[in-house]
Structure 1
Amino acid sequence: MDEETVHVTDVIRLGQLLKLAGAAESGAHARHLLDEGEVHVNGELEQRRGRQLGAGDVVTVARPEGELTVRLT
């Protein structure tokens, strides 16, 4: 399991965060991850690429090489 911390000053959309954290190569790849049920926000399944995230949110992405956890501060 990999873990990463991302500092945000305001809000960031989930699709943007997935690309920033390296979990998705593009917006289309982010959409695919969400459609396949690979992304959870704060422990709950999330399928909206435009969901706004802020400090305190935790995003978990299931990947073939292992789970990635991204904590926003």
Structure 2
Amino acid sequence: MQDRVEVEKLFTLDVGLQEWKLMDMDWNYQEKPLAQALSLVETAAYLTLVMVVPFFNVVTDMLEDADVRLLPVTLTSTNDVP
């Protein structure tokens, strides 16, 4: 939850980031997998590429999946604007 608060602060500071803002549905979808991945990374005494790279791949894949799910909504809303 603290991570979400920090991300929200960033969005309020930079208007250009608004288009990438995750909605409640997106946060709920990603909360459990991110918590599991972070707990694995946090328990390691020394982070290695073997641990960090797959973690970033999972996060990137999840964000891309969320973006793809939102694509029809984005296209519909931009087509409605004159």
Fold conserved (TM > 0.5)?
A: no
Instruction: Compare CA radii of gyration and give the structure with the larger one.
Output: 2
- Does 1 or 2 have the higher relative contact order (CA < 8 Å, sep 6+)? 1
Higher fraction of strand: 1
Q: TM-score if structure 1 supplies the norm length?
A: 0.28
More helix by share: 2
- TM-score, scaled relative to structure 2: 0.26
